[in-house]
Amino acid sequence: MKTFDKARRSCMVLGMVLLAAASQGVLAADPPEKIVLTVVGKLSKPSEQDKKTFTMAQLERLPQVTFTTSTPWYPKPVTMTGPLLRTVLEAAGAHGSKLTAVALDNYKVDIPFDDAAAQQVIVARLMDGKPMAVRNRGPLFIIYPFDSSKELQAEKYYFRSAWQLSQLIVQ
């Protein structure tokens, strides 16, 4: 019985020491969150690496927009949520006339910079309220609100939608 009491006391003491260390910031912090988007090119506020990076948490903290739209890629309308593309570009200090969106598989598509201002284009991070896995075109997807206007229901806008987005090159 004494051995059990000693072990229990030791566990309690260790727990109190760990709790105290955590509250004092002595324990190692959580590992840094993974970068999911990099913006490079014409930036007015470049960091020391001449690029601006975003984690998913940073994108979540930007104002969010949600819309439901039909797409050529899904059998029924989907609800997409994320910051406006223009908000992401503003946060990066980007200015230019053209964007090149680069996907995880190195697919590249050019998007006029003006689309960000003229359209409600978002960098979607949620589809139907859930994060998107890479196998489901995630984790980020540049998407236009196709159902908001007949003009957007055209091949050129479908091609400008980039899933598995990983980088924006500002030119």
- Chain segment 134-170, per-residue pLDDT in tens: 998 999 999 999 999 999 999 999 999 999 999 999 9
Q: Can you give the three-state secondary structure of 13-49, one letter per residue?
A: HHHHHHHHHHHCCCCCCCCCCCEEEEEEECECCCCCC
- Please state, in angstroms and rounded to a whole number, the distance separating the CA atoms of residues 56 and 38: 11
> What's the topology of domain 31-170?
Sulfite Oxidase; Chain A, domain 2 (3.90.420)
Q: What phi and psi, each to the nearest 5 degrees, are found at residue 163?
A: -95, 165
Kindly tell me if the per-residue pLDDT of 1 is higher than 80.
no
Q: In the chain, what are the domain boundaries?
A: 1-28, 31-170
Angle at CA of residue 25, ends 24 and 30, nearest 5°: 150
15-62 pLDDT per residue, tens: 454 445 444 554 455 557 899 999 999 998 655 467 999 999 999 999
Look up the pTM and report it: 0.80
